[in-house]
Structure 1
Amino acid sequence: MPVARIITVVSLLFASCFAQAQNQIHRIVSLSPHATELAYAAGLGDKLVAVSDYSDYPPAAQKLEKVANYKGINVDRIVALEPDLIITWPAGNPVRELEKLKQMGFHLFPSHVQSLEDIATNIDALSQFADDPKIGHQAAQAFREQLTQLHNEYGNGKPVPYFYQLSQKPIITVAQNSWPSEVFSFCGGKNVFVNSPSPYPQVGMEQVILAKPQVIFTSGHAMADGSMWNDWHDELPAVEKHQVWKLHSDWLNRPTPRTVRAIKEVCDYFAQARKK
């Protein structure tokens, strides 16, 4: 068969599969806030019928029914909604309930995000279910271009030792390659607890003091404003240099197109720290 004929046949098959997927997906459920944002970015907002708690962006998501939270998934309600697609969060949703939905025959789309590129990849993949896939592809491309611009602006900075505080009692941080470590690394941050065996380790105040981070970050979800470190002015460089900063939680903790805002925020703070 001539090459041109093969290309034509493959193109027709792809178009057919795409049209089939597109035509079959009319009702979508999202099981995490970041998945909800990714769905909207992919042009699927008009097909969402239910989302998880804290799915508050874009504002239209706030009006949708909530069928999942940190306690679990309302499987019975999801069954009643009869979704054609369920966007799951394997890293956060209960495995048992996801398996139950799968066994019941629901189409699950797992949103795996471990790197910045994965954000664009997820949007591209979800675009196949949109009436206009160009919306998602353009959003993914715009995200990649913004990353390139930010890398050109901040990519050569000197490493800055930092501590990211997720909670105050107990003190919990992020280690290894757990999200949002990718954001800090992009900006030249050096995690003082990167080698912890746990992805989200609980640490003691003494450990933080001994690690001597140059910067301490907190977030709105941490229920901590960093004031607990004020008494350690002489022992903690971050306190001594007034480099204890609170970050925008939703930008940082949710891997979505808004992550570029978190990168800009974190990179700007590291730039300030380098000047001192």
Structure 2
Amino acid sequence: MIVLRALVVASLLLAGLAGPGCAPADPVPPAGRTVTDDLGRRVSLPDTIRRVITLAPNLTELVFAAGAGDRLVAASTADDYPPAVERLPRFSALPVDFEFVATLQPQLVLATDQVNNPRDADTFAALGIPTYFFHFGSVDDVLDGLRTVGALLHTADRARRTADSLRARLDRLAAWSAGLPERPRVLFLIGDQTLFAFGAGSYIHTLVEAAGGKSLTAALDTPAPVLSDEFVLTAAPDVIVGAFGTAYDPARLLALHPSWDVVPAVRQGRIYSLDPDLLLRPGPRLVEGAYALARVLHPDRLPSWMRPSSSRP
């Protein structure tokens, strides 16, 4: 904390707040621009940004998808994709290691209110580092966020092309699923013992619908409901999909919830687990997650363009 305090004081001195004697003889206002982030905060930025830090893995993926991966000067300990992050220095984002981040001299920090504390922006501001906060409630928010990253980092054309391509792939999937004769009732779970799920307004329901399913928690008022066994028994899902990883043993779910032996999904052996990073990170790989959902929901109806070898978004 002593080092951090010294960095804050130094930043204030450099900003000319320690007294008129510290100001240069001929001060020239730095070029810059002011933008508004998803929290409604006004953020002052330099015209050109070449040094960036992200505080959540989905933001790292968005920066790379926008064609600005070379601007990242470090990766958090939670970052694992794309593979290029392996070459970057590591830092703690939860909690934020402000002292280490300050030594990297970033010109911009990207954060999301779903992972990061908005009050962290105050500490970064005291260090002279601007912070831009994103909010991702829907698939459209993610694609808009990708375009915003491109605008912030002057890779707008690349970001727009990537966002348009992802939208086209998702629309193609939705058009295909619209012609299906039936949609299974899908229960999507984040946790297997404690039944964490997504409620109303989540992007996950858009993915399930595009994949040809009907999400059973889409109408729940709570954004992050914890379900009961009674809810599952009453809802009687045709398919259960968990974000537990591809190596997950479905038998574990029944062992944890033995009363589910009467649930259609259990009786028909339709319990699946997918890579959580494709579904729980609101980033460019959500489209890949939607395709992965479609493959487990409708394995016998897949056209050739949806098969794994040809459908990575």
Provide the rounded CA distance (Å) in 2 between the counterparts of 1:159 and 1:264: 15
1:44 maps to what in 2?
68
Please list the CA deviations of residues 224-249 of structure 1 after superposition, one character each: whole Å capped at 9, or x if unmatched. Answer: 64322265565110011111011121
8 A contact 2:246–2:275 mirrored in 1:
no
8 A contact 2:174–2:212 mirrored in 1:
no
8 A contact 1:168–1:223 mirrored in 2:
no
Aligned length: 258
Greater shift, 237-246 or 116-125, is seen at 116-125
1:135 maps to what in 2?
158
8 A contact 1:166–1:221 mirrored in 2:
no
Provide the rounded CA distance (Å) in 2 between the counterparts of 1:192 and 1:222: 22
In structure 2, runs of 5+ residues without a counterpart are 1-31, 35-44, 303-313
8 A contact 1:173–1:201 mirrored in 2:
yes
For residue 268 of structure 2, the aligned residue among 241, 247, 250 is 241
Greater shift, 107-116 or 258-267, is seen at 107-116
2:52 maps to what in 1?
28
8 A contact 2:245–2:273 mirrored in 1:
no
8 A contact 1:33–1:53 mirrored in 2:
no
Q: Which has the higher helix share?
A: 1
Provide the rounded CA distance (Å) in 1 between the counterparts of 2:178 and 2:85: 34
1:223 Cα deviation from its structure 2 partner? 9.5
Bigger CA radius of gyration: 2
The answer to whether structure 1 residue 204 and structure 2 residue 231 are counterparts is no
For residue 86 of structure 1, the aligned residue among 104, 109, 122 is 109
1:271 maps to what in 2?
298
Provide the rounded CA distance (Å) in 1 between the counterparts of 2:289 and 2:187: 16
1:120 maps to what in 2?
143
Greater shift, 109-118 or 88-97, is seen at 109-118
2:254 maps to what in 1?
229
Aligned residue for 1:24, secondary structure, equals coil
Alignment root-mean-square deviation, CA: 3.0
1:111 maps to what in 2?
134
Aligned residue for 1:265, secondary structure, equals helix
**1:51 aligned partner, one-letter code:** A
Give the TM-score taking structure 1 as reference length.
0.81
In structure 1, runs of 5+ residues without a counterpart are 1-15
**1:140 aligned partner, one-letter code:** A
